[in-house]
Each structure stands twice: as C-alpha cells, then as structure tokens.
Amino acid sequence: MSEGDGASQMRDEVRARLNRVMRGFGPAESSAPGFARSSATPSWRFSVSRESLPLSPVVKLIYIFLGCHGLGRSEKLDWEFVFQVGQTTCSIASEKFGLRVYVDRTGIAEEAEAKRLFQCIVQATVKGQKVIEKDVLEPISKEQVSAGDVVIGNQYHRLREAYRYFRDGAEIAFRGDGRVEVLTNADDASNILVDAFAAWRRQADADAEGWWNTFAMIMAYFSLLEHTLVGCLAFADFNPEEETVTGFIGLNWGDKFKRLFDLNADLVAQKKYEALRDLAETYRNTYGHGGFDKRGATVHFHVPGIGVIPATLSKISKSPHFGLVPAVVEDYNRICAVFDDFDSWIAAGAYRNAIKWIEDGMDYAFDAKTRAELAANAHDFDAYLEAMSYRLDQVTNMDW
C-alpha cells in the first residue's frame, strides 16, 4: 500500500468514526455562503464556551474530516465551515472573540429550538474532538515532539508577576507595613516592659510575614528561572536528533543551567550557578521537601546529660533553621541581590537575544525553520523581533 493509499484509508476510517458519534451531521452545499462571513442569510448566533471546546484547531480538523466546506479567512475571522444537521444548514466559525455556531433562521424560526440544536452541535463536536485527538493527533504529536517541531506557550510575564508580588510583599512586611495584625495591650498601658514586649512582637510579626513572602518569592523565582532556561534552548545548539525538548523540560533547573552553560570553561557562569544553587539548597529544596535539608539541620541526636545537638554540628551557621524565622530582612536583601545579579547577567550575555524574545512574550518554537531564522537574524535581532511581534499581533487580532 502506498503512502497516499494509507493516508486515504486513515481519512476514511476517521470519517467513519466521526459519522458514528456525530450522527446526522454532513457537508452542506459548497455554494453555501456561510453566516459569519456573510449576512445574506439570517441566522441565530451562539458563543461556544472554552470549557466545552478549548482547542479551535481540533474543531477545525473535525469538520475537515467530515468533508465540510471551508470558507477561509476574513476580517476578524480565522475560518468557517458550513454543514448540515438533518435538513438545517449551520456553520461553526473561529472568530476573534472565540468559537461561534450559526443556525439558519429560515430553517428554524424559534430561538429556543435553535438553542437546543446548538447544544446538540456542541455535544456532538465534543465527541468528535475525542476521535480526532486519539486517531489523528496522538500519532502525529509523538512524531512532532521527537523531531523538535513543538511550540511552548510563553508564560514568562505571568511567572515574573508572581515573583514580584511576593518580593514586594516581603519588602512591605519587613518594613513593618504588612498584613499581619499586631497585638497591643488592651488597656493601652505604657511601661518599659509593655513597650519592650510590643516592640519585640511587632518585629517578630514583621519577620514572620517577611519570611512567608520570601519563601514564596524564592519558589516563584525558580519556577520563572526554569521557564526562562527552556526559552533559551532554542537559541542554543539544540539538535532534536541528540536531545528532545520534553527531555530538557524534565531536567532539574541545575541540569538545565549546565546544558546551556559550560561551567568548566565559563567561570562567571559557574559563580552565578553556585550562587543560585546555594539559595536553592538552603531555602527552595529545604522547604519544598517539608522543611528537611540535605545537610541534616533538622535532624538531631541526644547526648545523655548534655542535651539535643543537630547532626550538622559546626555547619549550623549555614542552616536557616537556627533563627526564630528562617529568613530575616538581611537574608531577603541578599537573596534579592543574587536574583537581580543573575537577571542582569543573562540579559547581557550570550543569551541576550533569547531574553529579548522571552520578554517580548513570544512563544518558544523549536522547529528547524524557526531555529534557522533565529540564527540568521542574530546580528540584527531587534528588527527581526519587531517584525515577528507585528506578525503575531496581526494573527492575534485576525487582521489578515
């Protein structure tokens, strides 16, 4: 059987399965003008929730396999397919504000009846979606991922906003303006002991809240860091024959860093890595695993007649466990300095074009064509990025 015969057989098998789960659906006349593109025929219009059909391209495939007539793009319209449900002409369209279904008003005069048909169309299309995902997209996805022909949505700004939120929260708390309510003497009494206790309590509350936010800030930053390092991979010597994008994503942040930077040859990169690693081991790893660190600071042994001693012995000075709170304002300032230093360094170094791409909100594309374009435009990257951003805006706004 030739490749063409195999594709034809697969198409027929998928269409047969769609016909079983979408009984009564079929192509409309190729001359049908549609409803989103043309107002020549009155219609009922209904919006489809993203919860029901979140992936517009999958819906498009459903109606292609059904043999329905596609009307192409138009202003603020990506695509529209006209089809029949029984004797009623309908269409489904991907528009700027989401998926919409149109029902011919000349065939169904009552809105309630049209709405019932719309709900049937959505339910049937959801069933069709499962067929397309299993029979068509799963085999293709494995091939595409293996070849590196994948795109990853850019979440950089969302992750950075989370990091900034907690960072600002820690700064506010350490300053004494946090959200924790400070207890005061009920009788508003004033003496040396009361005043001293109140001052201590205010500081303790500020330190505690500052630590909570510092911990969240650290966790958010390392999430942001991993996302950024994945974005840099397309600007490295990525070869899908030697590694996979999903394999790189599965690495821990340190191995991602070592894949992108040669720590043996680049002493500056090595120092940046070590500074981040120390923070990760002290805070992220410790509190990400229930408050237990690799150095055993929370593990103690008992010496009869003496007391309880931490297993880390003289290394306790490097553990965050030996204060009333694991991080105070001095720790916060030091942590922020490490993060800021790394951000400035990577933005000005070998991956500066990658950081520009990431910060501009562009998705991470790893296909051969995109990687070749990135390399070819490396010396005039700002102009290339501006052109690509403009093209993305056109696609987003459906300005064809």
Q: Is 161 in the same domain as 125?
A: no
Q: Is 251 in the same domain as 298?
A: yes
pLDDT at 145 (0 to 100):
83
Q: Is 51 in the same domain as 165?
A: no
Q: Is 255 in the same domain as 356?
A: yes
Q: Is 114 in the same domain as 156?
A: no
Residue 69: strand pairing partners: 82
Q: Is 303 in the same domain as 322?
A: yes
Is residue 359 within 8 A of residue 228, CB to CB? The reply is: no
Domain span holding position 192: 151-397
Please give the average pLDDT of every successive group of 10 residues along the chain, which has 400 residues.
68 94 94 89 96 95 96 93 96 95 95 97 97 92 84 96 97 87 54 56 78 95 98 94 93 97 97 96 78 56 66 51 66 96 98 98 94 95 96 85
pLDDT at 139 (0 to 100):
87
Hey, what long-range contacts does 169-175 have (CB within 8 A, 24 or more apart)? 169/209, 169/213, 169/216, 169/217, 170/210, 170/211, 170/213, 170/214, 170/217, 170/332, 171/332, 173/206, 173/209, 173/210, 173/212, 173/213, 174/206, 174/207, 174/210, 174/328, 174/329, 174/332, 175/206
Q: Is 255 in the same domain as 276?
A: yes
pTM: 0.78
Q: Is 36 in the same domain as 79?
A: yes
Total domains in the chain come to 2
pLDDT at 397 (0 to 100):
84
Is residue 263 within 8 A of residue 270, CB to CB? The reply is: yes
Contacts of 265 (CB under 8 A, 6+ apart): none
Q: Is 279 in the same domain as 393?
A: yes
Task: Name the strand (E) or helix (H) holding 192.
Answer: helix 192-233
